[in-house]
């Protein structure tokens, strides 16, 4: 039983992407995109959001790589390809989603222009990007984004902003940094780890699941934006 509980904590409560993933799922469910006829997931990874869409409407695209954080033997995408040169005709998709990808692209304008090309006019784009998160998929981790930088990037490449919001509050971000530091394999502080593990559920109850009550959002883990192609 103890091992089972620990596995749940390791997989969920102490997973630094858990809260962000749940926030993305909430945004997707509220976005009215689930019934789109054609939706592209760029950088789909293990296709964790595929379950939210009709199988016939969803296409997952992934770039072949083999970094420690992104092994090449992930669940096979529908298409292998480069987001900077998408293998689709102009004005093809009703919607495009792209989560935690832009930080790995040296020239971010190129990928946003390509998103604009394959989207229909008024097609919806949902993107998430890190604001404060550890370096990952080294050495292909180039950027962190403020909401103002993200807005600028989208506006200058033919998109209109519908909404932008953080995935977490600032206090959770501070806690997340502590957790990801303490639970690295080379960090040996067993008693401290147990104490952190014990307090995690209480912390999450106070901060994560009551995020709507928080007023300060200037330093989240990630930003998520909904935009539409305007030109």
Q: Model's pTM, two decimal places? A: 0.78
d(CA 137, CA 69): 5
Structure token pair of residue 74? 């992930």
- Residue 163 CA: distances (Å) to CA of 27, 169, 226: 10, 17, 5
Q: What is the pLDDT of residue 220?
A: 82
Q: What is the pLDDT of residue 6?
A: 46
Most confidently modeled range among 33-37, 55-59, 176-180, 223-227: 223-227
For residue 229, name the pLDDT band (cuts at 50, 70, 90).
very high
Q: Which domains does the chain have, with CATH numbers?
A: 18-169+215-229 (3.40.50.150)
pLDDT at 75 over 70: no
Structure token pair of residue 160? 């209109």
Q: What is the pLDDT of residue 56?
A: 77
Q: Tell the residue number behind the tokens 């033919």, with chain if given.
A: 158
Exposed/middle/buried for residue 181 (C-beta within 10 Å: 0-12, 13-18, 19+): exposed
List 125's β-bridge partners, or say none.
Answer: 96, 227
Mean pLDDT value across the chain: 79
Higher per-residue confidence, 45 vs 204: 45
d(CA 226, CA 230): 13
pLDDT at 213 over 60: no
Q: Is the dihedral of CA 82, 87, 91, 92 positive or negative?
A: negative
136-156 pLDDT, tens digit each: 778 888 989 999 999 999 999
């Amino acid at each position: 039983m103890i091992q089972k509980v620990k596995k749940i904590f390791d997989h969920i409560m102490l997973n630094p992407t858990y809260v962000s993933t749940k926030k993305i799922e909430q945004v997707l469910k509220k976005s009215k995109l689930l019934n789109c006829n054609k939706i592209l997931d760029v950088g789909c990874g293990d296709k964790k959001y595929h379950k939210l869409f009709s199988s016939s409407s969803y296409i997952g695209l992934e770039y072949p790589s083999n970094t420690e954080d992104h092994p090449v033997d992930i669940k096979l995408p529908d298409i292998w390809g480069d987001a900077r040169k998408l293998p689709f005709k102009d004005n093809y998709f009703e919607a495009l989603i792209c989560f935690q990808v832009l930080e790995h692209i040296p020239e971010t304008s190129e990928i946003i222009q390509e998103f604009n090309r394959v989207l229909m006019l008024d097609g919806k784009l949902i993107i998430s990007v890190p604001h404060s998160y550890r370096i990952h998929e080294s050495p292909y981790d180039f950027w962190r984004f403020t909401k103002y930088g993200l807005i600028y990037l989208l506006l200058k490449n033919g998109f209109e902003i519908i909404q932008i919001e953080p995935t977490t509050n600032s206090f959770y971000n501070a806690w997340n940094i502590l957790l990801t530091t303490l639970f690295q394999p080379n960090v040996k502080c067993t008693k401290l780890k147990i104490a952190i593990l014990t307090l995690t559920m209480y912390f999450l109850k106070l901060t994560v699941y009551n995020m709507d009550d928080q007023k300060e959002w200037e330093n989240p883990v990630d930003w998520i934006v909904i935009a539409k192609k305007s030109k």
